[in-house]
Amino acid sequence: MTKVNVYVTLRESVVDPQGIAAKDALHKLGFDEVGNVRIGRLIELELSGTQAEIEERVKKMCEVLLVNKVIEDYSFEIGEVAGK
């Protein structure tokens, strides 16, 4: 099984209310050095296959299920092979 990390972020042009709330809360707590905050998703997948297969399949998974391409962007990193 290979581990893949998929990073899903809101597109730059999309307002991120959750990020704005986090930023406001950080400011209230005294973290005034914080500028922009954006909150996205980290999807950790374990899957089998060769490097090339995995790359192609993960792209497809993102397109059909994991990512809302209208408002989100994604990238992924194929990591180390986990045990078994």
Residue numbers 10-39 binding its own copies by CB under 8 A: 19, 22, 25-26, 29, 31, 33-39
Between the alpha carbon of residue 54 and those of residues 8, 38, 73, the distances in Å are: 18, 28, 19
**Alpha carbon distances (Å) from 46 to 29, 35, 77:** 37, 34, 12
Q: Does 67 bind its own copies (CB under 8 A)?
A: no
Smallest gap from residue 51 Cβ to its own copies (A): 13
Task: Label residue 26 left, alpha or beta by phi (over 0 means left) and psi (-120 to 50 means alpha).
Answer: alpha
Q: Does position 71 bind its own copies by CB under 8 A?
A: no
Of 36, 42, 1, residue with least CA distance to 19: 36
Rank residues 19 and 78 by Cβ distance to its own copies and give the closer one: 19
Contact call for residue 42 and its own copies (CB under 8 A): yes
The footprint of its own copies (CB under 8 A) covers 1, 7-9, 19, 22, 25-26, 29, 31, 33-49, 53, 57, 60-61, 64-66
